[in-house]
Structures are given as structure tokens and as C-alpha cells.
Structure 1
Amino acid sequence: MIPLSGSPGRLADNVMHFGRVLRAAGMPVGSDRILTALQALQVAGLESRRDFHAVLAACMVDRAEHRELFDQAFHLFWKDPDIEGRMRALLLPKVKAQGGPPPTTENRRLGAALFPNPPQPEPETPPKEELELEATMSWTQREVLRQADFETMTPDEWRAAQKLLAKLALVFEPLPSRRMQRAAHPGRIDWRATMAGMARHGGELWDIRWRARRTRPAPLVLLADISGSMSRYSRMLLHFAHALGHADARVESFVFGTRLTRTTRLLKSRDPDLAVGQVMRTVQDWSGGTRITDSLREFNRRWARRTLPGQATLLLVTDGLEHGDTSALSFEMERLHKSCRRLVWLNPLLRFDRFEPRAGGVKAMLPHVDRFLPVHNLASLEQLAEVLAGPAAAR
């Protein structure tokens, strides 16, 4: 066993740099964890690579969903001799070719964390006959960005996705109200306007005036899970809710982890980045644990009658991975389903082709939803916008 104090080289500096890479890639690795890892290596030593990996994982990983990201970063940072070439390749756009190797499954945020400023090739002036090809490539880049998973986006891709989301055309289902308005097409006669027209023409009936019911956009309520496995998806959904709230619609938003927090007023700012940043700073349990049953129970008892009208559409964003007895979760979902006109469950686990509802929480929630949709990329949000614009299906 080789103690850390007697080992040559700059291992302590490399461990510190490795922690910074994990932090830039999205893991909550603070300075306290790096110091704990250095102290643990003083005790465990460097007998084998397996022990070294176990010590760093025990000190820097506190959630199961971060294990895969840590393993990839450890493999690339501490072993691969061609790390620079591989990580720079992750930052380049991919072009599919027949017969080529399968695409990499590594997290692209690792490339941005290790090389935040990759060298860009010198731009070449394309000939005039290649203008059409250049336009096709720009369309391809947008299409790749539409299909990219929010969890693996680099910071540059995340900002580009926000810009595309702001340009998304948002149309809400029109609902008839009790108020009436003048109409140009025949329907219900507007007797007051018709009689006033007759009085102006000496009592003769020159034109019949019509009226129809006014329409208003369907109200929307968002319930977003902000636990560790859902925080990045819910963060983009908050940008989506911000865009909905500034599109002449009544939008109420709530987030929940271990507790339920109303965020409607926090999203009133015109700048979406400032609004979402204020939500992340205000909510105390962001990217922590999750209690789906308790959060839904609090919403049903405290907020449902005040913020959830009968004609509202409810968007529930969660993976449904609830621990323990799920009978209470089924009861709260049934109450939630009866309180709204349409309940849409958005689950990022649907991005997997082989997803099956085997978890107890998913089985308890699924019978009480009207639509079950994915929410992991821009294409799924465009599909959600189409669902919100269309009429609700009969239950």
C-alpha cells in the first residue's frame, strides 16, 4: 500500500481538478467533498485502481442517478490516454453514416467541463454553389438539437435550446365563456343592437345583428418534480411555463421535492433566466429528495380549490418513482384527476424505448391520467404544445 503523503506527482491537484470537472458537468461536488476525498485517500492509500475508484465515489457521489456520470468521468479522466481527442469529439456535431461505428453514449457535458473553450476550426469561405448545402447543414443542426436530451446537453446547447423554446408558437384550446360578444355570422340574435339599428332607420329592419359566446384560453396548472433525477427536466419545464404565462393564458405553477412550493409569482419576471434563477434560489429542496404522495396531498387539501378550476389542464411532471406503500398515492391521484378537465403526465423515462410501468408508483398513477407523454427534449415539448392546443378527449 502506498500512502498519499509519500506518493510522487501532483495527485492532490488532480483530485481537486477532477472534482471541479464533476461540478461543471452537473454534480453537486463542493470543496468539502474534495477535502474529504483527500483525507480518505490518506487512510486508504493507492493499493489498486478499484480502491481508488471506490474512495472517490464514496466521497463525491451521493445520488444513484449520478453514478453513471461519475463512472464515465473517472474512466476518461484517470485512464484513457486519448482523453483530449475523445472529449473534443463529443463537442463536435455528429453526422450519421451507413456502416459507421455506433454513436457514443457518453455525457456531452463532460466534454464541455473538461474543455470549456475548444478550439474552433478556421472558417472557410464557401463557394457560391455550396450555399444550398450550408442551409441544409444549419437545418440538420437544429434537428439534432431538437432531439438532444436535456440531461446530456452542454451549456451552449442548453442556451440554444432556450432560444428555440422562446420561438415556439403557443396556442391554447379556446373554451366558451358565459359572456357574449358581437358576431359577424348568423347564430343568436342580438336584439338590443338590432332594435337600435331599426331606431336609426325609422323603425325599418335593415340588418339583423348577431352575437356569440366569448372564448378564453384554457387555464393551465403545472406541478413539477424538482428532485435530483428530475431537476434538469423541470428546469426546462419552468422555462416552458414562463413562456405559457406570457401568452395570454392563466398559468399556475408549483414545484415539489420533499415539500410543495408555489412559484407562480416568481415566474412573473419578463426575463425567463431571471425568473427560473429566482425559483432555484428560493426553493429550499431543489435537486433533493422527493415525496410525491405528501406533495399531492398538500396540493389537494390547500391549493386545488383556489388554483385548479374545473376546466383547467393539469401538467404533472415526475418520474413516478415513489417508495413505500402506493395506495395513498393512487387515492391522491384520483382526487387530482376529478378536480381538473384534463390531466397530462409528463415522464422523462418515456425516452427509453423499452420503458415498462413496473414501478409501484407508476402503476398507481397511470390509471388516473388522460395523456402519458415524454418530456426530455425540444421535440417532446413541441408535441406537448400541440396537445394543449387541441381539444381534450372525452373520459
Structure 2
Amino acid sequence: MSEPRLPRAVEIFVSFVTLLRLNGFAVAPEQTVAFLAAIELLGPNSLDDIHRAGLATLAPPPERRAAYDVLFDIHFLGHEAPDQLSGEEEDVVRLQEEGRGSDEPLFAEEQNESGLAATRAEALVARRFATRATGDALRRLAREAAAKLPRRRGHRRMRARRGAFADLRRTLRESVRHDGEVMRLRRLKRRPRPRKLLVLIDVSGSMKARTEHNMRLAHALVQAAPNVEVFTLGTRLTRVSRALRLKRREQAMAAAAHVVSDWDGGTRIGEALKAFLAVPRFSTYARGAAVFVISDGLERGDPSALCAAAEKLSLRSWRLSWLTPLASGPAFRPQTEALMAIEPFVDDMVAGGSDMAIVEHILSLGQRSAA
């Protein structure tokens, strides 16, 4: 049987709600139903009726009212986003799932060739990854991940010499062999489980020298451990976990290159992290997880959005690590405004300028405790 389809007149309103969700607006299904009911009640007689119905039922936060208006004009009036975005409205960050990369233009008119300056301008470009041999750091990660990655106590229990729980079933079974005498109380403990891992990779122009290495490391981590989620951050937030689950590295890199559209573009780390936290399905990936943000933290403008997102991410995660190529050693102290602002909320701010340094930190977390 074919799946039921929405009436043609309703599709444009439902797709507007989808566009809001993709840009970080939290809209519940009940609000979508209320939005449609309000439009039916109002007629509607004009676009102003639809706009007012959306404000009343979808309830965009006051600080994002400008972004809501821009998205409304783009969707219903067909305005071009680059011509409409200015000032505060530049904070619109698009969220991109796997399979949506082909919907966007692959090449931008301008590219950040140097990669030395951080910018908020969006550049949609295609990227190809070269075929390279597996380095020593990635081989070490594949070899030691099972034993050294962080683990958590699961809900299932297992036999143990010492434990917090009594194994009554095994104890009573053994007592039958001794005429009902309990010779020894058997114990149970919680079975250790691999902890969730979340990797957020900055693919902006200022990180272009490390982008390919970081993507290959993320692929090796996905192959070596279960429950790994990978996102790229730039001017967009893109989930690349499904692409990186392909076993052959060349195929996985090609799939990821097709999915991500904002390679070597601008930097909107704070807005991208806010968009990640605004989507409930994505924010659950961070709950109780070891979170790794691989970024130089070169955020343009006021770092308040990045600071607020880092605080929320730290509260949800088991441990938040910020791996930056700017760190030169254990005595590193952040010098940029953005890194200094988020330092109180980051558990580990360590070197991220080489595969060996990143792998060393990831494998060392198995001996750490929760922050």
C-alpha cells in the first residue's frame, strides 16, 4: 500500500516548518498542527495572515525573529538568501543531512584560498580527497580502541568475584548441591559498555590544512568503535556518520565529500553548535558522551553564541574536549577571545594539530573520570 500523502495545498506550509527545523528552530508536531489550524481559520487572505499565524503558533524566540523573517521571505516570496542576510540575520545556519548535498550548488564564486582568515561568508564548494596510506596513528587507533576507549556501566549485569549485587539464582542453584547450605554468596556487577562518542569537525577555511586528516581520523574511529556520531561545522551543520560507516576509506571519503557542501568556507561555530543542540534527535547524541570538537576556535564577532553553546554541550556530555591546532603543548593557554570565553566549560583543551596528538588524547580518556 502506498503511504498517504498530504494535500497539495498543505505541503507548502509543512515544508516551511521543515525549513525552520533545519535552521535550528525547535518546532513540535503539535505546533505544526496549530499552525495549519490557524491558517485555515484566517482564510488566509494574504501572506500577512500566514506570517502572523506562524508567529503565534510556531513561537520563534525573540532573539531569532530576524532569522525567522528571512526564512519566511525565502520560502514564500522566493527571495535570495545572500541578498537578504545582513547584520543579525547572518546567524541563519542551515542544517544538512546525508543525501542533501546534491540539492545545493556545488561551486561558489569565491573561495578562501589562503585558509588563514576566519570569515562568516558562506562558500559552497566540492572537495576531493586524495588516496593516502594509513598512518601509524590511525593504525594505533584501530588496534587499541577496543581496550582504551572510555566505557560506562551498563544496566545489564554479569558474574564477578566482587560486586554490588547478589546473584541469588546462582547462589540457590549451588546450595542444592550442598543440601540447602549456602556455602558462598555469589555476586554480580554491571557489565561495562562502550561510551558514546561525538566528533564535531570544523571544516572552515581556517582549518583547510587539517580537514582531510581529521576526516580520515573520524572514519578510523567510526570503524574501530560502536556508537560514534560525526558532524561537520562551518557555515552549516552536516551529519556525516552514515557516509563514514562505509568500510572502504576511499568510498567513505567520497560519500562524505558529496554530502558536505561548505568545505573551506566561513566560520559560524557558535551558530552551528546551537543548531545541533536545537534538534532533539541530535542533542541526544551528546548526552553522556565523550564529545570531541576539532577546531581552531577562530570565531568572528561576538563569541557569546559559542560560549552559550559550549556551556550547554558541557552539561549534556560526559566530558568535553576541544582539540585545536593552536595548542603547542601541555602548557598551552588560549589567546583568542573565543577560546578564552569557552575555557571554563571545556574539560580538556589540548593539541589537535596532528593525528598522533588527537589519537593520544582519545585513547587516554579511558583512564579519565567524568568531569
> What's the TM-score, normalizing by structure 1?
0.56
CA distance in 1, matches of 2:249, 2:325: 22
How far residue 327 of structure 1 moved from its aligned partner, in angstroms, is 1.7
Runs (4+) of structure 1 exceeding 4 A deviation are 59-62, 352-356
Q: Structure 2: which amino acid aligns with 1:165?
A: L
Counterpart for residue 229 of structure 1: 206
Q: Is the 8 A contact 2:163 2:189 kept in 1?
A: no
2:307 aligned with 1:308: no
Spell out the pairing of 1:344-359 with structure 2 (5 A cutoff).
344-351=321-328, 357-359=334-336
CA distance in 2, matches of 1:183, 1:360: 50
Q: Is the 8 A contact 1:224 1:254 kept in 2?
A: yes
Counterpart for residue 245 of structure 1: 222
Counterpart for residue 195 of structure 2: 218
Counterpart for residue 98 of structure 2: none
Distance 1:186 1:371, change over 3 A: closer
What are the superposed Cα offsets for residues 10-68 of structure 1, whole Å, 9 maximum, x if unpaired? Answer: xxxxxxxxxxxxxxxxxxxxxxxxxxxxxxxxxxxxxxxxxxxxxxxxx998434369x
What are the superposed Cα offsets for residues 270-324 of structure 1, whole Å, 9 maximum, x if unpaired? Answer: 1123212211122111122221121011011114433222x21110111111111
For the residue of structure 2 that corresponds to 1:261, the secondary structure is strand
CA distance in 2, matches of 1:349, 1:166: 25
Distance 1:201 1:299, change over 3 A: same
How far residue 172 of structure 1 moved from its aligned partner, in angstroms, is 1.4
Counterpart for residue 177 of structure 1: 154
Structure 1 unaligned regions, length at least 5: 1-58, 68-154
Which of 373, 380, 388 in structure 1 is aligned with 2:357? Answer: 380
CA distance in 1, matches of 2:366, 2:358: 12
CA distance in 1, matches of 2:153, 2:245: 26
Identity %: 32
CA distance in 1, matches of 2:234, 2:203: 5
Counterpart for residue 139 of structure 2: 166
Distance 1:60 1:175, change over 3 A: closer
Aligned length: 246
Structure 2 unaligned regions, length at least 5: 1-108, 118-129
For the residue of structure 2 that corresponds to 1:229, the secondary structure is helix
Distance 1:66 1:189, change over 3 A: closer
How far residue 245 of structure 1 moved from its aligned partner, in angstroms, is 2.3
Q: Structure 2: which amino acid aligns with 1:305?
A: S
Moved more, 316-325 or 206-215: 206-215
Q: Is the 8 A contact 2:323 2:352 kept in 1?
A: yes
Which of 56, 65, 70 in structure 1 is aligned with 2:115? Answer: 65
Larger Rg: 1
How far residue 178 of structure 1 moved from its aligned partner, in angstroms, is 2.1
Q: Structure 2: which amino acid aligns with 1:294?
A: E
Query: Considering only aligned residues, what root-mean-square deviation do their CA atoms show, in Å?
Result: 2.9
2:299 aligned with 1:322: yes
CA distance in 2, matches of 1:347, 1:264: 22
How far residue 206 of structure 1 moved from its aligned partner, in angstroms, is 4.8
For the residue of structure 1 that corresponds to 2:205, the secondary structure is coil
What are the superposed Cα offsets for residues 180-220 of structure 1, whole Å, 9 maximum, x if unpaired? Answer: 11124465321111112223554343554221111112211
For the residue of structure 1 that corresponds to 2:326, the secondary structure is helix
CA distance in 2, matches of 1:186, 1:315: 32
Q: Is the 8 A contact 1:320 1:365 kept in 2?
A: no
> What's the TM-score, normalizing by structure 2?
0.59
Distance 1:60 1:284, change over 3 A: closer
If asked which structure has higher relative contact order (CA below 8 Å, sep 6+), I would say 2
Counterpart for residue 10 of structure 1: none
How far residue 368 of structure 1 moved from its aligned partner, in angstroms, is 1.4
How far residue 360 of structure 1 moved from its aligned partner, in angstroms, is 2.2
How far residue 244 of structure 1 moved from its aligned partner, in angstroms, is 2.3
